[in-house]
Structure 1
């Protein structure tokens, strides 16, 4: 148990997120907030930037129970050796690279706080992507 099991579970989460992503995705962005101590409840946002041919598309990714369960298990495992994360950001790129950022502050979105950190950055994510990658895929 411990860090090795956590790393394996991160890979389970990444693979499942990619498996439910729409065709042509370039980046997946997930944000989870965990509340509860014994049985965790997750509040999530799962989005994707997709190659739409003549432009980038962005929207919510369908979420399924196996992904929910995998993230909940990751939260449980994070208690070994330290405290459980309360927020988790995951970015997965189509080349297989990913970035995972756990947080330990009280979650905002699940408490009705909709600021830049909890919600605003997702509402403008496509603008950020286009600024970095151009308006047309492959251009």
Structure 2
């Protein structure tokens, strides 16, 4: 039996997020093949650096079972919540998901670039509101 998986993560740019916010990643795929126990979905926020083209700043993992899916197969989804870490302000963070612990090679979505802005601490309106001799 042929095993087939197609992944789809919606790559719209998110509104800017702050450390501590949660990004819910829903990864969908179509599957034809036998049941697979204890597959593992990984989703991660990353950015491109000189040393690592996919430098992950946070990664979530979830074990899941894939049901027996004879043709025409099934459309499946896995949801992972990623808590935004305290990292440098950047507007070029990316997102990817992958399926691991399945027969054959790991299966990856495209590496979606420049879709997440993580804001750092921001100060504004700094002013003296009073002063007196003491």
TM-score, scaled to structure 1: 0.30
Q: Which has the higher strand share?
A: 2
- TM-score, scaled relative to structure 2: 0.31
- Structure with larger RCO (C-alpha < 8 A, sep 6+): 2
